[in-house]
Amino acid sequence: MQENVTQGSAQGTPGQEVHADRSLILALIPLVALFALLGLNVALYGDDSLSGANQTALIIAAALAAAISLFLGVPWVDIQEKMLENIRAATPAILILLMVGALVGTWLIGGIVPTMIYYGLQIFSPAIFIVSCCVLTAIASIVIGSSWSTSATLGVAMMSIGYTLGFNPGLVAGAIISGAYFGDKMSPLSDTTNLASGVTGVDLFTHIRYLSMTSVPSILLTLLLYLLIGLFLGTPDVEDTTTAQTQAILAERFNLSPLLLLVPFVVIFLIVKRVAALPALFVGVLLGVASALVLQYPLLVELSDEFGGPYQVIMQAVYGDIALPTDNVVLDELLQSGGMAGMLNTIWLIISAMTFGGVMEASGFLQKITRVLISRVRSVGGLVTATGGTCVLTNVSASDQYLSVVVPGRMFINAYKDRGLARQNLSRTLEDCGTVTSVLVPWNTCGAFHAGVLGVATLSYAPWALFCLISPCMTMLFAWLQIRIARDEVP
């Protein structure tokens, strides 16, 4: 019956068709303008496009969308309220980013990051480092239930070790994110996993079991590819003497101790115990300061010549730029931090993106585009593809992974019911296409967060985030080949 209604609407009078076509074109104009500006920025600025050009592009696109909305009769007060609502929703991410900036700075002067690098160089073989990154972050994310917390703790250490070993930072970040997002999807503690099951009305563990049918093959293929990259394609030529020299410099510069490894474990333990990310990370900052005062006081005295005293050194590490120069170029890149100030470009990007997303929501442009997609669905494969496409479109236009689960979930739930499909088909598609692709969009809150935390531009790690690329393809493959497509017991 749903198909008949949809087809009837699509076949309306010529005047209605012209109006619908005009409405669709108007809805697409802001997106096309945004893509054009972002493409031009990447071509002209490269990675530096995140320093302001992309933020400006989002604001211009938001202004264009708002102008069209006003032309169509949408009140400005509604547009403004939706923008503010979106920005308010992004506030937790902004606060976490600031805390991560402080955490990295204090862990640097506290000797925690250098200690993780020192012992990591002893443990990891370059041949299996990339696949190890993916496995370890997957395990941590399943336990923690958060890809963000995993990247902010274990991910930071892995990036430092990978950089020291000479790996492409984009490749290391891609492996970290792949493991973190697999674990995030499969964890019953994950907010997006609970959100997808809640929006669709599917039992949580039914959702996870059904999700594993596509996620497990995707992560196994991902691990195989990372293993092959490590063994045959991407292993840097690192000499034992180079590693030994790096460790010697770290041991000379810092008072290293295995006890310092307890600091990240404490933070992870707090998150496992369901302490919220913000206070858990703040505890990590305090432990970093304590480590600096107890174990690295000579270093604080040395840096006091530049900043005025140990107190000023600690404050500088929390909020601003700080560097610990050595005679090693690689270590000089690692032993520096921008503190909370180093996260401001990312925060600016998130605010700009949420502003654009708010206008697109208030105007109904996103809903218009997805309604057109639904009207052309004729098969199970087509329905899953339309759902996945809407998830990606929402990640691009609304810039928020939660909306990429909620909006398509609400819009497509009746379409799945009308075709006799169990709701877990929808919940799985929302996770496979919404949750994992959010981190691939530079101006999405997830893409901006991980780029800021890991210090790698989104477009640099996106080609290497293999799980996030394979997962949507896997769910489409299952749908088109009719593999593991659950049906309602009563059609």
pLDDT in tens, the chain (491 residues): 333 333 333 334 444 443 445 578 888 899 889 889 888 887 888 767 778 888 899 899 999 999 999 998 899 999 999 999 988 888 887 888 899 889 989 999 999 988 888 888 887 788 889 999 999 999 989 878 889 888 988 898 899 888 888 889 999 999 999 999 999 999 887 888 888 888 888 888 889 999 999 999 999 999 999 999 988 875 665 555 567 788 888 888 899 999 998 998 898 888 778 788 889 889 999 999 999 999 999 999 999 988 999 999 999 999 999 988 887 777 777 788 889 998 898 889 888 888 988 898 888 887 787 777 777 777 889 999 999 998 998 888 877 888 888 888 877 888 888 888 999 999 999 999 999 999 999 988 899 999 999 999 999 999 999 999 999 999 999 999 989 888 875 44
Q: Which of 256, 248, 243 is nearest to 165 (CA)?
A: 243
CB 162 within 8 A of CB 187: no
Residues 225, 226, 231, 237: is their CA dihedral positive or negative?
A: positive
Spatial separation of the C-alpha atoms in residues 222 and 415, rounded to whole Å: 32
Spatial separation of the C-alpha atoms in residues 262 and 43, rounded to whole Å: 44
What is the DSSP secondary structure assignment for residue 450, as one 8-state letter? H
Q: Which of 400, 385, 389 is nearest to 441 (CA)?
A: 400
pTM comes to: 0.80
Q: How do the domains of the chain map onto residue ranges?
A: 22-90+344-480, 112-339
The one-letter amino acid at 308 = G
Q: Which of 405, 106, 484, 68 is nearest to 260 (CA)?
A: 106
Q: Which of 18, 8, 22 is nearest to 365 (CA)?
A: 22
Q: Which of 156, 46, 43, 133 is nearest to 464 (CA)?
A: 133
CA dihedral 287, 288, 289, 291 (to 10 degrees): 80
CB 112 within 8 A of CB 157: no
How many C-beta neighbours within 10 Å does residue 399 have?
Answer: 31
